[in-house]
Structure 1
Amino acid sequence: MVKIGIMGLTGCSGCQCEILNCKDALYKLLGKVEFCYFPLAQDNNSFEEFDILFVEGSVTTDLDEEKVKKGRKVSKILVAIGSCACYGGVQAQRNDEVTLEEMLKEVYGTTEFPVNVSKPKAVSEIVKVDYELPGCPLDKKQFVYAVAFLLNGVKPFFPKIPVCHECKLSETECLTLKGIPCQGPISYAGCGAPCTSAGVGCQGCRGDCDFPNYEEMISILKEEGLSTKDAANFIKVFRGKQAQERLSEIFSKGVLNEKRG
């Protein structure tokens, strides 16, 4: 029996809820796998050995770090699920702008906590991650596919094409041409583009597609009325360290007319 664990760190548990929404698939899995650890869904949990461990949430406390390090040690395959685990998530969007003390003081009014806290980090910044399933929340179909692949000894593979590709397939009118800020050209598809089909610009919650052109994306967003700073902040919302490193490199080269900030 394949042993599976689903762990939550600092996050909203939305990705775990999406997994629970895979009702029919979960029923079929129960005959082939054992969910040894899934505190959100069951009372009896064992944290001793996993064939596959799925981890949701960013590493934000010493308890998170201790937990994920132990999980890595006792698991054969570790999969980061959701944008918090893959990139640091929304809570990491200002890591490069302010100190931890400033964050805590602004949000909580104090820097004193019963646990040691740190700036939110992606799971891969702490331990080796074998696969990533990004999204806010993750796409439940991709979760099911990933489990099916792994149970059959196949490496999960999802092409990192841009969201624009899915808009073309669904014949969704390009929002950029309508003047609506949209990150589709640089964002990783696989969600089915529900936001753009509803008339809302892609927020980039699944991170970068292959070879994202940040410079051109910022130029397009500026044409739609955003300042350079606002365009950069828009791109950073879900991407955490992934975007911060790229943006830092771009601004250090001075390739954009307006200075950041």
Structure 2
Amino acid sequence: MPELPEVEIIRQSLDKKIRRKKVKKVIVRNRDLRMILPNDFKKQLENKKIRRVTRFSKYLIMNFNDNEFCLIHLGMSGTIHLVKNGSKNCFTNLSFYSSPLLPKKHNHIEIIFDRFKIIYNDPRRFGFFQIIKDYDDLKKRFSHLGPEPFDKKFNLKFFRKFIKNKDKKIKDLIIDQNFVSGIGNIYANEILFLTKINPFKKAKLLKKEDCNRIILKSRIVLQKAIKKGGSSIKDFMNTEGKKGGFQDSFNVYQRNGLKCKRKGCKGIILKKTISNRSTFFCNNCQN
């Protein structure tokens, strides 16, 4: 599943292509996604002008001129493809963890503009589209989620209050979307490496300086990942057919058995499982 940096790259690509564009037509080939599309979904989008594309956490948000919104969540296997009229451009994928080419199957939704269309493809159908009627409803939709790592609300006071008496391992805490929104398994591993904190440590045992380091390093890691275009673990590409580059900067993720990159450290990167997720850490500097 794409994490905050990858969704931000998709947002940038989409915004560049569909900002101020009018939806001419919508074709729904399959309503049976994670959230079943309403019967009037097509009517709710057609003839609307897109003001801009924004993002919260791992959600893309199409903002319309009439102050309604359409949320898009890619789930585990959802991808968005941009196809220009008459174009033979082989790179169509705006998304993550899939082929850069438009697959022949599982094209569930087509949103058609003047000279191009965007196609939502999702073999596992864990993604969804949702119409939100106004800004108040949009706020309510995200009220169960924690702040983003870049939000001022993600601060020491909030952190300390949240972890009080929690036996949860710190790795599980960082990927808990109720705590902080947008961080998934890849970046949690990288953040904890930079903080020198063992992923198995219980959250309630974190000291004040530990919390501050996690807040700071979360922002640093995610900003760097966005700047490098996200992480291309498989075939993630943006609208220009360019791969992300952050995977070249991984310190621990998928580096099990290799030497630690930290200067002066003689440790080895280990791979263990926490809550059914692969967890990578240095056996020396994160001990």
Same fold? TM cut 0.5: no
Q: Which has the larger share of helix?
A: 1
Give TM-score, length-normalised by structure 1.
Answer: 0.30
Give TM-score, length-normalised by structure 2.
Answer: 0.28
Larger Rg: 2
Q: Which has the larger share of strand?
A: 2
